[in-house]
A and B are shown apart, each in its own frame.
Chain A
Amino acid sequence: MRRSVMGATAVAVLLASAACGGRGEEGGTTAQGECKGQQTTGITDKSVKLGGIYPLSGPASAYGQIPVGVKAYFDSVNAEENGIGGRKVTFVFRDDGYQPARAVEEARRLVEQEQVFALFQTLGTPSTTAVWDYAGQRKVPQVFVATGASKWGTDKSHPWTIGWQPNYISEARIYAQFLKGEKPQAKVAVLYQNDDFGKDLLGGFKKAIEGSQIKVVAEQSYEVADPSVDPQMRNLAGSGADVFLNVTTPKFGSQALAADAKNTRWNPLHIINNVAASLTVLRPVGFPNVQNTVSAAYYKDPVDPQWANDAEMKRYKAAMAKYAPNADVNNQYNAFGWAAAASFHKTMQAMKCPTREGLRDAMRNLKDVRVDMLLPGISLNTGADDGFPIESMQLMRFKGERWELFGQVIDTRKEFGPVTH
């Protein structure tokens, strides 16, 4: 008897709920006048709300410093310039622990509950990939995602998502270009991380040296979970290469540099990729051991003394001291966040309509937009056929206790043409 009562209740409830049917599209607010019908959720004449998703916990929590720099930038713009064009910026950031499932949850929270105007940065290729379909469906701009995968620029079906930093293929082209001038007969050994980042960079490098005398003579991969890259380094040393391309994340970058320094019989020209080029990676190896290592950069390093009197660097350091007193002002990730936030500022200023559609159009139509935290000579450029805001970098060589920039800024788009997949 009880069971039948239960069953009847359940059926009744199901019928009732089925009768209710689905819900309609709940619309946000829309604009009037010239931009009629475009979405104005999260933006008014006095305010704009942005949401970001970063790994504040978990294996990639080192990147959790990026939103600190972003927030310091927006806080200082709010205080000193009354926000972006009179709109005070509220920046909400959430933790996804580098888990795609949680990134989806947080993106939904930001869009549906916090009602943000745009997603400003999601970090990491997996998390960003998990979110970009959703952003496209809801027509929410996903601006300047913090990952260098090339698909943010090559993909045509996600107009609401755009990258920011030079993609890994562009970076690989910089090194190829450098070798073509410096060592046209180079025999290259490559150590790379076995994921999208490592493969994008290695693939890009191989493509960029096509038609030249440069050859990749040995390649070894490692997993993020590996304790050490020493075995790989031993194999590479046996290859007789005269150039070593170090495509690693910080921890493994240090290990590879140390292994190279220890092996006195193998002394290749050491190229380390930008991700692992910070001083915190080089210091444990010992500066005397990493002299003349080559890398590439696109934004100003807070510890580099040549920017000590740079106006933007001073502004950054003052703002960090004021709005993020507990953060390490010399941490590159803070500066990265600052530069991306400043780029967003410029993009907002370029919007024709103060709407989500306006932001999407603005971020896809940047013309020589100069951001002061980027190296001189590097500017943001996008267009109908160009989904990569930054494609230029400058080479640098380690001298004494710091990186020294050398040569000209290399525009890889000009040298190699657009990145295609």
Chain B
Amino acid sequence: MTESTKQAAPVADAAPATGRRDVRALLQERWQWLAAAALVAAVCFAPFQLVPFRVFQLTMVLVYAVALLGLNLLVGHAGQISLGHGAFFAVGAYTSAILLHDHGLPHLVTLPFAAALAFVLGLGLGVPALRLRGLYLALVTLAIAIFLVPLIKRFESVTGGAMGLTLEKPVPPAWTGLAEDQWLYFLALAVTALAFASVYGLLRSRVGRALHAIRDNEAAAEVMGVKLSFYKTLAFAWSAMLAGVAGCVYTWTIAFVAPDSFTVTLSITLLAGLVVGGLGSMAGPVLGGLFVVYVPSLSQDINKGAPGVVFGLLIIVVMLVAPTGLAGLAGRAARSTRKVLQKERRNA
């Protein structure tokens, strides 16, 4: 009896210690998974906790995140540049709008059409991109963004001209019991998750490696057997497709399209959002989306007189503090916390 208690005591002592070690080990090894799980939980619960206005803002963040994901594929991973992504966004938005307005298709059915049309146009733009580089490519893509607005106005019978098209919002199916804004949010979330999963898979494949090789050194990539023309054109097409998908979800969310929504400013805002968010990282587009949605309203809280100036200054500040974008900043912060933790552990 005494023996057994003697034996039991050390065991009882040891149990909490191993438990603590387990938690710590779990935290260290799997913190990324835990963080991801926490994030999933947060994004799923958010629409039930927030007022519709906040849910709407988050939906817009998702819309821009998908567009930026496409732009990131092109700029961050393939090293090309585009000042005309607003145009592909507009193509997606208008494709969905026209199908909804003139043909009465269900909302979800318009998505593949928007994606396909943007993909084909992106493929078309990919051809000049083969011959042009840097500034010249930037100018050609900028021209597309400029030229699209008058084009939309010209085809008034289809696009509604300058008056735009007013549409119906997707109605949540009765079984979900969701409000309209929550349903929209989950639609956008599903599209976003799908887009991120496909891009993640794409980048881990040989395609991703080929794109990175092109970005880092075209000549070397070609020597290694990467077919430049093929991958560059495809990068443009995929990137345009994602922008088109984002445009389509935008149409669902706003239920109104007009040429003035898709001016050159949109293209430039997208590029700025991506650079601020972080080029070439998976988190960059999300952070960029947050930036594009929240910072304009933040900047007018700071100064009503000149919100545009404040917005510009904030971009400069972010670029000074975080030259690799907000994603890079987050990465650096994570690394330094880990270092601090390791030091603490050694001291302990």
On A, residues with C-beta under 8 Å from B are: 2, 5-6, 9-10, 13-14, 16-18, 20-23, 26, 56-59, 61, 93-95, 97-102, 104-106, 108-109, 111-113, 124-126, 129-130, 133, 194-196, 199, 223, 225
Contacts and interface: CB of A to CB of B under 8 A. Distances in A.
Interface stretch (B44-52, B212-220, B339-347): B44-52
Interface string B54-69: 0011001000000000
A98 B56 contact: no
A108 B56 CA distance: 8
22 contacts: A9-B40, A10-B37, A13-B40, A14-B44, A16-B45, A21-B177, A22-B178, A22-B182, A26-B51, A57-B307, A57-B311, A100-B164, A101-B60, A105-B56, A105-B293, A109-B297, A113-B51, A124-B260, A126-B258, A133-B256, A195-B161, A196-B162
A17 B41 CA distance: 9
Contacts of A10: 37, 40, 44
B308 A57 contact: yes
Given A10-B40, A108-B56, A59 B33 contact: no
A13 B41 contact: yes
Contact of B37 (A6, A17, A199): A6
A108 B300 contact: no
A56 B307 contact: yes
B112 interface: no
B40 A100 contact: no
Given A97-B296, A97-B308, A112-B52, 17 more contacts: A9-B40, A9-B41, A13-B45, A17-B48, A20-B48, A22-B179, A23-B179, A57-B308, A61-B308, A100-B256, A100-B261, A101-B60, A101-B261, A104-B256, A108-B52, A196-B163, A223-B149
A199 B156 CA distance: 12
B265 interface: yes
A124 B60 CA distance: 22
Contact of B48 (A23, A59, A111): A23
Contact of A18 (B149, B176, B297): B176
A223 B162 CA distance: 10
Given A126-B261, A133-B255, A13 B44 contact: yes
A142 to B, nearest CB: 14
Given A57-B308, A129-B258, A194-B153, A6 B36 contact: yes
A interface, over-half SS? helix
B163 A125 contact: yes
A13 B189 CA distance: 14
A285 B148 CA distance: 32
Counting contact residues on chain B (CB < 8 A from A), the size range is 35 or more
Contact of B250 (A21, A61, A101, A129): A101
A113 B55 CA distance: 12
B23 interface: no
Given A108-B56, A113-B53, A129-B258, A59 B263 contact: yes
A225 B150 contact: yes
B61 to A, nearest CB: 11
A53 B48 CA distance: 28
A98 B164 CA distance: 14
A233 B153 CA distance: 21
A124 B57 CA distance: 22
B140 to A, nearest CB: 18
Contacts of A13: 40-41, 44-45
B172 interface: yes
B51 A112 contact: yes
Contact of B254 (A6, A57, A101, A111): A101
Interface in B300-315: 300, 304-308, 311
Interface string B110-149: 0000000000000000000000000000000000001001
B30 interface: yes
Nearest to B264: A225
B166 interface: yes
A162 B53 CA distance: 23
A56 B176 contact: no
A109 B250 CA distance: 18
Nearest to B182: A22
Nearest to A130: B256
A183 to B, nearest CB: 30
Nearest to B312: A57
Contacts of B47: 17
B51 A100 contact: no
B150 A223 contact: yes
Nearest to B250: A101
Given A21-B177, A101-B250, A225-B150, A2 B48 contact: no
A20 to B, nearest CB: 5
Contacts of A130: 254-256, 258
A376 B66 CA distance: 55
A199 B146 contact: no
The 6 closest A-B pairs by CB, nearest first: A195-B162, A57-B308, A108-B53, A21-B177, A112-B53, A126-B258
Contact of B149 (A99, A125, A196, A225): A225
A2 B33 contact: yes
Nearest to A21: B177
B25 to A, nearest CB: 14
Contact of B260 (A22, A56, A100): A100
A9 B33 CA distance: 11
A57 B306 contact: yes
Contacts of B37: 5-6, 9-10
B256 A129 contact: yes
A100 B254 contact: yes
A13 B141 CA distance: 42
Contacts of A106: 297
A363 B164 CA distance: 27
Contact of A95 (B161, B265, B296): B296
A395 to B, nearest CB: 28
Contacts of A20: 48
Contacts of B40: 6, 9-10, 13
Contact of A194 (B162, B250, B308): B162
A250 to B, nearest CB: 17
Contact of B30 (A2, A14, A125, A195): A2
A125 B44 CA distance: 36
